[in-house]
Amino acid sequence: MAFCKACGQDIGDAAFCPKCGANQGVGAPGAAASGESPTAGIEENIAGLLCYLFHWVSGLIFLLLDKRSFVRFHAGQAIGFNIAAAP
């Protein structure tokens, strides 16, 4: 028995929920994840920490790849901090 990921309605084998119309990702397995960023599997707080790891380079990588506002904020902070702290 399958349930809707959005509303919890019993959907059976349907690709879309009959109640709310949410896509259940039953079709191609790669199709649902194709719109996600490459860093979507990393939790926000861990990604924010990793921005500071390799000076400004890791901050730049996360700034360009990740679309979450928390991570982008810390990526910008890491770049600014490492440029300001450079000898």
> What is the torsional sign of CA 37, 49, 69, 44?
positive
Q: What is the pTM of this model?
A: 0.55
Looking at the structure, tell me whether residues 29 and 42 fall in a common domain: no
How deeply is 53 buried, as exposed, middle or buried, from its count of CB atoms within 10 A (0-12, 13-18, 19+)? exposed
Q: What is the pLDDT of residues 38-68, one digit of tens each?
A: 777 888 888 888 888 888 888 898 899 888 8
Q: Range of 65's domain? A: 38-84
Tell me, yes or no, whether 47 and 30 share the same domain.
Answer: no
